[in-house]
Amino acid sequence: MYEHMVRVPLMIRIPKGLGGQTKDSQALTTGADIAPTILDIAGCTVPECDGKSLKLEVLGRSALQREFAVSQYYSKQKWVNPIRTIRSQNWKYNLYQGFGDELYDLRNDPEELENLAQDSGYADMKASLADEFEQWIQTNTDPFFTLHPTDRQGHPLNQETGE
């Protein structure tokens, strides 16, 4: 769940005749924002959904207000490795089902080399992100806490030994 794997650039081009301009943004966006953005730019009604329209952000009229974005990973072929990440503008908290957690200060450690999850000096930040994450899990009925990691053949792993 490192930044270079999950942080995908998003480019949207709106013709100048529709108010388009060149703008660089560091807003936290997700793939779920694309459909509401297209609908909004086209003048259609945007139904209630998980995404947010980026129209005003793209046109430079208003900044997207999102406190955090969540990333999910589940499996690769038969191998199951449930992971969830909650990322704010400057912090990232990764939770691995059965294998602990990670906390990174992205402003001071953009390469995510120093895991601060067990550092007592960052306990409040970790707790804050963990609380936001748990609320997101409940709101979205994410089955994360019921998932179990497996080995590459699909056999359950012993979470004590990793075997």
61-66: long-range pairs with CB below 8 Å, 24+: 63/25, 63/27, 64/25, 64/27, 64/28, 64/29, 66/27, 66/28, 66/29
The pLDDT value recorded for residue 16 is 76
Distance CA 158, CA 98 (A): 9
Q: Return the DSSP state at 45.
A: -
Of the residues 58, 88, 105, which one is the last residue of a structural domain?
58
In a domain, 153, yes or no: no
Positions of the chain with pLDDT lower than 50, given as ranges: none
pTM summary value: 0.76
**Based on the domain organization, do 114 and 142 belong to the same domain?**
yes
In a domain, 64, yes or no: no
Beta partners for residue 16, in sequence order = none
Distance CA 61, CA 134 (A): 33
